[in-house]
Amino acid sequence: MDVEIQGRPAFAHMRVRMNPDDRIIAESDAMASMSTTIDMQTRFNGGFVGGVAKKFLGGESLFVNEFVAGAQGELVLTQPTPGDIVCVEMTGNTLYLQPGAFIACETGVTLGVGFAGFASFIGKEGLFRLKVGGQGRVWFGAYGGIFTRDIDGEYVVDTGHLVAYEPTLTVKVGMAGGLITSMASGEGLISRISGKGKIHLQSRSLDGLASWANGYI
């Protein structure tokens, strides 16, 4: 199965060229188009209990679609917001994704829900996060371009820009400075990331877009 990410970074989408018996799992609303040689099967995202947990705790869909190729064909997957898509190869390691970031994965990848902490909820990052593991490729997206940083120590990220991070890192949410500084600077809450590992960030935030749009309403 060959997967090419096209339209980067503003309008990225996945062009999946599938051979007979190839399989890929995707979010329930990710399919943009597909060949008639590909069959789509809808199921609970991790079983009924797991699907409910991912929807109401991890911000993901209750259902996922599994695409199976009966012969050679093409599948196009996308995401709701304009932005970038990246691919990460899982080799038994774990990666945490923020709610709504997951797009698709190979069948050897496992999806679970992990508790992110109340500080993450206050910082509008969600009370729970999607936990990705297993073997295979996973694709996730974001609003705006996606860039990575290797952390060894402490790093500060504006809330709403963190997309994914490794479990070796600790994320704590707090104010950018004192009360007046935080309010006057427009930064408000920030995430302090500590430890050693890699993070994936998005260059835009939906909160920033909403704040900008409200000025014209």
Identify the pLDDT of residue 2.
97
Q: pLDDT tens string for the chain (217 positions)?
A: 999 999 998 999 999 999 999 999 999 889 999 999 999 999 865 444 444 444 444 454 567 899 999 999 999 999 998 999 999 999 999 999 988 899 999 999 998 876 655 555 454 555 567 889 999 999 999 999 999 999 999 999 988 899 999 999 988 887 655 444 444 444 567 888 999 999 999 998 877 777 667 777 7
Contact between 159 and 123 under an 8 Å Cβ cutoff? The reply is yes
Among 124, 32, 102, 23, CA closest to 69? 23
Identify the pLDDT of residue 47.
44
- The class of domain 2-209 in CATH terms is alpha beta
Identify the pLDDT of residue 186.
47
Contact between 133 and 106 under an 8 Å Cβ cutoff? The reply is no
| DSSP result, 54-82 | HHHTT---SEEEEEEESSSEEEEE--SSS
Identify the pLDDT of residue 126.
53
Other beta carbons within 10 Å of 36: 8
Identify the pLDDT of residue 160.
83
Domain ranges of the chain: 2-209
